[in-house]
Amino acid sequence: MDKPPIGFVGLGIMGLPMAGHILDAGYPLTVYNRTRSKAEELGARGGKVADSPADVAAASTVIITIVSDSPDVEEVVAGPQGVMERISEDSVVIDMSTISPEVERQLDEQLRAKGCTLVDAPVSGGDVGARNATLAIMAGGDRAAFDRVQPILEVMGKTITYCGPVGNGQLTKLSNQILVAVTLLGVSEAVTFAKKNGLDAQVMIEAVKGGAAGSWQLSNLGPKIVDRDFAPGFMVDLIQKDLRLVLEAGAAGQVALPGTSMVNQLFRMAEAQGDGREGTQILAKAVEQLAGLGS
């Protein structure tokens, strides 16, 4: 099968390496980024550099977007000079940003009026996963559209899951973020409890991580909490954006999420102290402050 011409909008810390994999896999690629220098890195490797998302769409039948938040996706897809201005019939837009499921559904409806469709396909795995093409990709949308773009997703990720109709990729990603946030609360409370009671918290982690208490958060962020290493793998500001989306979807769907809501509030303590660009493991500092352990 011929490789379709692909467009890529958004060359940030995630998008740039992801677009690079597509180029390396031999797809014709047209890219756009607000900061043009990032686009020119790919231009030097054989990609075409476009002047707008609309120009990207004109050159492509599959258009990938990965930007920050719901309004950014709305702007690059449906705004002035956006993808929809020049998209050709039967094209697929794959939005890989983490945004509102409801916004994805609305954009899909607008795209359908032009004979196109949207697949929402947010990712987890961070910048390391983007560079190594080991991302988990959670996709929602029309099944036939998913099947058509699956080989392209496989170039960027390792675990590709079809989750149902459009919006379900985002809902799966938001479920992922609930798990990340509340599990990290448990790690923060356990490490704080251990330290305040005079345990060597690192010994505690080693003693329990192989059993029913074990988690990715404990094995990977627990030792950083113990070492006071708050360098970001994933930043507070970004998980807060995701938790806002979770709690908005929870409000819309009438789901009470008391643990998630509590973590959102504790992260707000971190933000209030200027720690929004630290790693999520700084949640432990808020828990320690509740326990009077100082900063």
Residues sharing a CB contact under 8 Å with residue 193, sequence separation 6 or more, in sequence order: none
Range 98-117, binding a copy of itself (CB under 8 A): 101
Which of 90, 147 has the CB closer to a copy of itself?
147
CA pair distance 57, 84, nearest whole angstrom? 7
62, 141 contact by CB (below 8 A): no
Q: How far is the CB of 280 from a copy of itself (least distance, A)?
A: 9
Among 187, 225, 238, 243, binds a copy of itself (CB under 8 A): 187
Annotated catalytic residues are 173
Residues facing residue 120 across a β-bridge: 95, 140
Sheet holding 6-9, edge to edge: 48-49, 29-32, 6-9, 62-65, 92-95, 117-120
Q: How far is the CB of 19 from a copy of itself (least distance, A)?
A: 22
Treating both helix axes as pointing N-terminal to C-terminal, what angle do 143-156 and 15-24 enclose, rounded to 10 degrees?
90
Q: How far is the CB of 265 from a copy of itself (least distance, A)?
A: 9
Which two three-digit tokens encode residue 258?
């008391």
32, 53 contact by CB (below 8 A): yes
Q: How far is the CB of 279 from a copy of itself (least distance, A)?
A: 12
Which of 18, 266 has the CB closer to a copy of itself?
266
Range 225-264, binding a copy of itself (CB under 8 A): 234, 246, 249-250, 253-260, 262-263
Range 159-178, binding a copy of itself (CB under 8 A): 159, 161, 163-164, 168, 171-172, 174-178
Range 40-99, binding a copy of itself (CB under 8 A): none
Binding mask 118-137 for a copy of itself (x = CB under 8 A): ------xxx---------x-
Q: How far is the CB of 266 from a copy of itself (least distance, A)?
A: 8
CA pair distance 30, 210, nearest whole angstrom? 46
CA pair distance 186, 101, nearest whole angstrom? 28
Closest CA to 135 of 122, 146, 145: 122
Among 84, 180, 238, 282, binds a copy of itself (CB under 8 A): 180
CA pair distance 120, 66, nearest whole angstrom? 10
Sign of the four-CA dihedral 164, 113, 110, 87: positive
Total of chain residues touching a copy of itself, rule CB under 8 A: 71
Among 85, 215, 232, 241, binds a copy of itself (CB under 8 A): 215
Q: Does 217 bind a copy of itself (CB under 8 A)?
A: yes
Which of 4, 126 has the CB closer to a copy of itself?
126
